[in-house]
Amino acid sequence: MPTTTNAPRPREVRTLADKLLEVHDWLREQLGHLRAEAAAHLAARAAHQGPGEPPAPGLGLQIRQRCLEFCDALAFHHTGEDEHVFPAVLEHHPDLREPLARLAVEHREAARLKDRVLALLDDVATTGPQEFLTEFDTLAELLTAHLDHEEGWLVPVLADVPFPPGPPS
């Protein structure tokens, strides 16, 4: 029997909407991987009994590095949308001013939560995995809802925009 995964299928990227969905799929996938790694680390710490070296008391360098990379990618993505995509959409669809403003507010809220998660990672040796999981879950919940909301507004608008863009006509 074939196994199934929650991994998104690779998609052919022909439009800016396709590219947006590809990036959003990657962000969702990374959220799942990071959550699973942090939860596994927490479980290993809780299960350790007896002699020998226990798992590292903090979150572990690998989890920290992956989380930092994810947070950098998220910031890059949202900055690109705020500075390039949203203004271009607004130029052609002024009727979307309010939804785009709401999406920008959601970007700022995600950045605030991302900064809280990053603050927990400042001291990898003492960050409590349970505290990290709580903050990470808050970020993941907000980000997942944001991605869904953003796709509802932007995918139809970006579906006619070729990607990569061709030379100006």
Q: How many residues does the chain have?
A: 169
% of the chain residues with pLDDT over 70: 82
Euclidean distance between the first and final Cα of the chain, in Å? 52
Long-range contacts of 51-54 (CB under 8 A, 24+ apart): none
Q: State residue 165's pLDDT score.
A: 74
pLDDT value at 29 more than 70: yes
- pLDDT, tens digit (0-9, with 9 covering 90-100), for 84-123: 999 999 999 999 999 999 999 999 999 999 999 998 888 7
Residue 3: band (very low, low, confident or very high) from pLDDT cuts 50, 70, 90: very low
pTM, entire model: 0.83
Dihedral sign from CA coordinates of 72, 156, 84, 89: negative
- The amino acid occupying position 119 is A
CA angle 132, 112, 75 (to 5 degrees): 95
Structural domains in the chain plus CATH codes: 16-44+56-158 (1.20.120.520)
